[in-house]
Amino acid sequence: MHHPSPCLAILCALSLGACTKGEASLAGPELRVCADPNNLPYSNEKLEGFENRIADLVARDLGTKVRYTWWAQRRGFIRNTLNAGVCDVVMGVPASFDMAAATIPYYRSSYYFVTRRDRDLRLASFDDSALRTLTIGVHLVGDDGANTPPVHALDKRGIVGNLKGYLIYGDYRRPSPASEIINGVARGDVDVAIVWGPIAGYFARRQQVPLELVPVSPQIDPPFMPFVFDMAMGVRRTDVDLRLRLDSVIARRRPEITAILDEYAVPRVGTIGGAPST
């Protein structure tokens, strides 16, 4: 959140409202997916996102088709979709998500430092002294500009005056609203951006100037601010059968899922399911 975007992803940053108890249902003749209609690289109404592709793969494995409920991934997304019983699966949630039951993970990613390659900044850590003098692009969440994990890490180090905020939602009237922070790096509006992996990788590949992606360090900033997240699919806690069936599909189709993630330049770190995720 989609979106290490908490509350939905993490990042990445989607801020969701409180959940209400929803009607439980198992997937019927269709795989009913809750998704954002304008949220590349994850999903859109044209079915161009990697979560659209993976949803189609899952549905074909289950011998059915996908039917979408479209809703902007903002506060209230889970409450108005999954927990309202109008759809059954959210394609991308942290494995530790407390607003739904998560499947086994299907990728692990991190926040990344994104810079122009021709700048040769060689950033890798929040403790790099260069961050005190560079202009840093960061995502903010929601209409109230809530802070994402990178902002907390920088604020902890007293690095606040040189930040440039970009709303994760961007201008929702335009396609790919989350892309603006990466566009800012390419244009030179900021020296570095700190961005959740799927957004960083997908939009960096589409720039005319080469960009460099380096996973942030530390992976967990004390006392406990994680920057690496296992990402899974989410269902209602009562939909145990559906979750187990999705687990089986993820395990069975892991090579195809990995190929889709590669196609969308989703950067991964560590291991998932006993195999390298990169």
If asked whether residues 64 and 95 sit together in one domain, one would say yes
- pTM value > 0.95: no
If asked whether residues 127 and 213 sit together in one domain, one would say yes
If asked whether residues 219 and 158 sit together in one domain, one would say yes
pLDDT tens-digit map of 3-33: 444 335 433 333 333 333 333 344 457 999 9
CATH number at residue 245: 3.40.190.10
Domain that holds residue 67: 30-107+228-270
Q: How far apart are CA 30 and CA 252, in angstroms?
A: 20
Q: How far apart are CA 73 and CA 237, in angstroms?
A: 20
Determine, yes or no, domain membership for 25. Answer: no
pLDDT tens-digit map of 217-263: 999 998 889 999 999 999 999 999 999 999 999 999 999 999 999 99
pLDDT along the chain (278 residues), means of 10: 44 34 50 97 97 98 97 91 96 94 98 97 96 96 70 95 88 85 97 98 97 96 92 97 98 98 96 55
Give the pLDDT of residue 271: 73
Q: How far apart are CA 263 and CA 133, in angstroms?
A: 35
Residues 6+ apart with CB under 8 A from 229: 4, 9, 10, 11, 94, 95, 96, 108, 109, 110
Task: Give helix 197-205 / helix 180-187 axis angle, nearest 10°.
Answer: 50
